[in-house]
Amino acid sequence: MSNWIRVLPLVSLLAVAAAAQGPQVPQSVPNGLPSWAYNIPDKVQPPEPAVPRIVRAPGSSKEYEATAIAGNANPPDWFPDEHPAAPRSVKGPMPNACGSCHLMSGQGHPESADIAGMPAEYIIRQMNYFKSGARKEEARMGPIARAVSDEDVRQAAEYFAAIKPTPFVKVIETATPPKTYVSADARHRRILQDGGTEPIGRRIIEIPEDPMRTTIRDPHSAFIAYVPPGSIARGKALVETGGSGKTIQCAICHGDALTGLGEVPRIAGLQPVYIARQLITLQNGTSAGANAALMKKPVSKLSEDDIISISAYLGSLPSQ
């Protein structure tokens, strides 16, 4: 038995998930958009692995009851010495505490944003866009933004802005990634237990390095992003020089290392699936506001292959 889990009666992930309250998992995307970027759960769900009743994370002195941390109100804080004192809006208890999706580290999972070290002004501005509907995400962030106070938003933004991001995704080029499915429980991909590989096609496939540690929101348990062969070099060329009438020039706003500039956020080291999803929403108009207006023209001519390549390259970069 792994040294990080105490052997106690088990509960299924689905039972744990049933204890969660808050926004629902999105079940569809607008017509014509690539479903791989939206983590829409597969219609046929294989049996989920069991979670111990009491869980522990490697290197942490903490232990929690799985059902107590499964919802969105009380995220586990495995490594409290690694971040500033967390406000209630991040650590809970409150509905949809920020740390439940973005983790106490701020780096989140592919289905949520990595906001560690992002400028506080940027985070506040995005929350205002969600609240007004200028940035549309009604499955989760829209209702959350309308329910939370401006003071809670400010405290959370200042908290996450003070955290230094660390490498949290490994980008691997391959034509044949492992066979995966999108879990309705986890809201991201997992490897099928039967094993095997499949053609990657025109997709980015992201999976946890350790599904169980990801389930218990261990901020030290990172992700692997499989991308088509040649994606990183092609993305680098697009980001740095453009091509075929495409002028990206990310460094002008995001800084030479793409780690952010003033109130402009970093894009280096983010989850590739998240980057791709944001580029797609900028193209189709579901992301608005001043930031989106500036980005609309640079991304308008990008093909799906361009978006995959740019996302692969940005995800491969150091986060600071």
| 23 and 135 co-located in one domain | yes
| 108 and 198 co-located in one domain | no
| 17 and 146 co-located in one domain | yes
In a domain, 92, yes or no: yes
In a domain, 267, yes or no: yes
| 104 and 182 co-located in one domain | no
Longest dimension (CA), the chain: 60
| 93 and 213 co-located in one domain | no
Q: How many residues are listed for the chain in this entry? A: 320
In a domain, 293, yes or no: yes
Sequence-distant (≥ 6) Cβ neighbours of residue 303 within 8 angstroms: none
| 148 and 209 co-located in one domain | no
CATH classification at residue 254: 1.10.760.10
- Work out the pLDDT band at 287, boundaries 50, 70, 90: low
Rounded to the nearest integer, the mean pLDDT of the chain is 88
Domain boundary among 133, 161, 189: 161
| 145 and 175 co-located in one domain | no
| 103 and 237 co-located in one domain | no
Q: What is the mean pLDDT of residues 220-234?
A: 98
Token pair, residue 284, equals 């189709």
In a domain, 307, yes or no: yes
Tally the domains of the chain: 2
Res 84: pLDDT: 97
Res 166: pLDDT: 96
Token pair, residue 211, equals 């599904």
Beta strands (DSSP E) in the chain are: 10-12, 50-52, 54-55, 64-65, 169-173, 180-182, 189-191, 205-208, 223-227
| pLDDT digit string, tens, across residues 52-94 | 999 999 999 999 999 999 999 999 999 999 999 999 999 999 9
| 243 and 118 co-located in one domain | no
| 140 and 94 co-located in one domain | yes
Buried b (16+ CB within 10 A) or exposed e, 230-250: ebbebbbebbeeeeeebebeb
Among 178, 177, 207, 185, residue whose Cα is nearest residue 49 = 185
| 154 and 21 co-located in one domain | yes
Domain boundary among 93, 128, 161: 161
| 32 and 135 co-located in one domain | yes
Among 117, 124, 130, 5, residue whose Cα is nearest residue 58 = 5
| pLDDT digit string, tens, across residues 117-162 | 999 999 999 999 999 998 888 888 999 999 999 999 999 999 999 9
In a domain, 34, yes or no: yes
In a domain, 39, yes or no: yes
247 has pLDDT over 70: no
In a domain, 49, yes or no: yes
Res 9: pLDDT: 36
Domain boundary among 161, 192, 214: 161
Q: Prior bond to 30 cis, omega within 30?
A: no
Domain with 143, as residue range(s), is 10-161
Range from 175-184, 192-201, 236-245, 303-312 carrying the lowest mean pLDDT: 236-245
In a domain, 3, yes or no: no
